[in-house]
Chains A and B, each alone.
Chain A
Amino acid sequence: MKIQLFVPCFVDQLFPQTAFNMISILEKLDCEVVYNPQQTCCGQPAFNAGHWNESKIVAQKFLDDFDPENYIVTPSGSCTGFVRNHYHKLLSGKIPPKDLGVKNPLLRNIFEFSEFLVQKLDYTKIKASMDGVGTYHDSCGALRECGIKSAPRKLLENVEGLKIVETEDSEVCCGFGGTFAIKYEPISTAMTEQKVHNAVEKGADYIISTDLSCLMQMDGYIKKHNYKIKTIHIVDVLSRGLNPKYSSNSGYCVS
């Protein structure tokens, strides 16, 4: 199976190891992974800020950078949800009728990593192991834009040595929200603070998610306040125990 890798802009800049780990996993599952080095970004940051003209131009480049007939897999529920649910709005320029189907096949072929593994590949073949207690954070993009809830949990169940605990607020926003985290820092921080405290109180050693933007937000708070809890992307959890093709490190999201 041929898979096109989409490395979101912030993963490219801040968490390159996660992208390499994802390649390792996909290749372990017998996929042929291709990467177009011209790619940059799906255009979501500008869209969310209301600058749709700039977003549209970058979105059009995105469509040129990928082959619409092959799968695209990305370690981000947020980017996946944006392309899948909002590209037609952004690019059609008109108010879409209620039941506009997904016209461009690319919109049907883009997947977030964990949903792809569970829906399209035999994920039980991955033998990862990680000791400790983890709690899963449902990123808003993954949960509400893509409907991802059980896939990551299924994958984490299979990790040897990892105990998963649920917090009451797993579905509550971490407080990142793109420019919101900068424009309204006190509110953003208050939201993050509560997420971290609740995870710590549940006895978790790790906060795991499909979205590095969330993890980065929570990690920033954790580091500043010297908490022991760590944030880790689900790709990095699952790549543990693999013989990586590329040099790996501990796999924590901040290398």
Chain B
Amino acid sequence: MNQLHAKENIIEKIKQGLNRSGKNDSSHEVGLQSIYFNVNDLESVDQFITENSLLGVQVYRCKNDNEFIEAFRNVSKSKAWKSVVCVNPGLKKRLGSPIIYDRGAMYSMDAVITECEYFVARTGTVVMSSAQPSGRVLPVYSPVHVIVGHENQMVNSISEALEDIKRQYLKEYPSALYFLTGVSSTGDIEKTLVKGVHGPKEVYIFLIED
């Protein structure tokens, strides 16, 4: 199969097809300003929390790192998580505790805890990437996903997040970007909502103010 041939052929057909009239560029003004109900900066954390509560995701707001660690330990204890995997070196150091293991324990883990790139207020989305040490497998394979981040990682919209990623990675985008909103679900069996199909069944988010 001649690859060059196929490519040339397709491009040529496109060009010819478009030459046959009707090629007017629309004068319609595209602009996102008035399309969604906009979130202003002061409301963004509240908006994020509200969205997530509608999605069944618990968000814990913590004043500082110590509060976060205590809150996390409490949740972990109440959920009886015996094995929580964390591969982020910085996070591991902060959490300390003997319940944290490495990647090798992934097949028997109760939960994984990761950081994230951004939070998106309007939709309650968590943005992650393959550039993070947690990679592609761990955050989707785990039955429970715990995310910890700072309020200054909050942006209002998806396009802002994409702009920030573009700047952050200087256009060398990570091989995978993930926009995670809520919990793995399906309605494929008679429209009955079931959670935790392939991805995590439960998600918890810790938002640190400082």
Contacts and interface: CB of A to CB of B under 8 A. Distances in A.
Nearest to A99: B27
A95 B24 CA distance: 12
Interface in B8-39: 21-22, 24, 26
Sorting the interface of chain B by its residue count into under 10, 10 to 19, 20 to 34 or 35 or more gives under 10
Contacts of A95: 21-22
Interface of B is mostly: loop
A92 to B, nearest CB: 15
A38 to B, nearest CB: 39
A50 interface: no
Contacts of A101: none
Nearest to B21: A95
A135 B26 CA distance: 43
B17 to A, nearest CB: 15
Nearest to A95: B22
Nearest to B24: A97
Contacts of B26: 98
A98 to B, nearest CB: 8
Contacts of B21: 95
Contacts of A98: 26
A98 B26 CA distance: 9
A97 B26 CA distance: 11
A98 B24 CA distance: 10
Nearest to A94: B21
Contacts of B22: 95
Nearest to B22: A95
A98 B22 CA distance: 10
A46 B1 CA distance: 48
Interface string B124-142: 0000000000000000000
Interface in A81-99: 95, 97-98
A97 B25 CA distance: 11
Interface string A104-144: 00000000000000000000000000000000000000000
Interface of A: 95, 97-98
Interface of B: 21-22, 24, 26
4 contacts: A95-B21, A95-B22, A97-B24, A98-B26
